[in-house]
Chains A and B, each alone.
Chain A
């Protein structure tokens, strides 16, 4: 974990409402693992504004890539960052996804939830399938990057403007049935809104596979000190505890979560 002042190297709009920010982050980028995140202090926000957490989309030669959607006051201001400006970054934070997997990986993304899954895909030895959903085609991002690495991509949109019409769980169900029919196993790696995480976790339970969910909660400190971003969790013996999404997570196996 480091606390660095990082220079903006590139900052582009990749599609409507979505931006890709590349920061020179040195050791933060070198030591980051898929599923971890960074905590940014956005310059230009008024004095005393809290930091904002962002998934790590990719790292490349000391660069830290952040793919984000402009959703509020912080990201509105963040959009205006220009190359050469500097941003305070704490990271890498959180536990990250498990990496050495024996079975097929199915990545499941809702909208910009695809960000940490791309970083994961670059590190998984065995290629699999990305199932990605959104409201419309505008929410379906960077699928060509997965295809370029040899991953199969299946898209679902609520309005049918890209891929199949429906929720991400519709094509996911087909994938789970396919894996079940072949007698193989699979694991799900999932990032998206809470409702989607919960639904995917339930499907995983029905099909007897693990689902590693990346939780997104409003955070304050990002390092496990303030206890603002907690989640009720279940241990293997059935007892419950209250964990910190930022430092005990943000990745939890679906069966651990008490919704």
Chain B
């Protein structure tokens, strides 16, 4: 335990106390300001962008106003899926079966608030473009132990209205392989008909750009 005395004389109790109270007061003000800012921004959620592009709606509609003037850049070939633990609610058992198709890959975990916030937007895009050939693959890469339970994942998928195929990436092998050394939840990619990544976005937001990329690829091909 504390065998050594502090190396500098402590400030007077009155000064320390005032400093402590000031720090507590500043923290309380900061917190109150943040809550006020969130409430003033609309729905009490912390999404504050002027655009409604990033807010979490109960439902979302895919009606993009963003039209790409040129083909989305080819970023890199899509990586492989590594050592996954199976697929849920899926007619596929490998990404190769999706060759020639446009599909969205989303890395998520069901305990992640921000991943949940993305879901209504993905669902709206899925509903709009599914008949044109779009597929979504949700790669579930759990952060915590409780997120590894398959029954819990199925329940969360039902709760979050995830009706697209899910890959179980329990040991986060694909999570690491796809994202290399910049790893985040959620992360969304669009893969084109040639198997190249044409869109890569970290976190919530940029749904117009996501939809525009999908629409462009479906209409013009890779």
| A and B held together in a complex | no
Residues of A near any B CB (own CB < 8 A): none
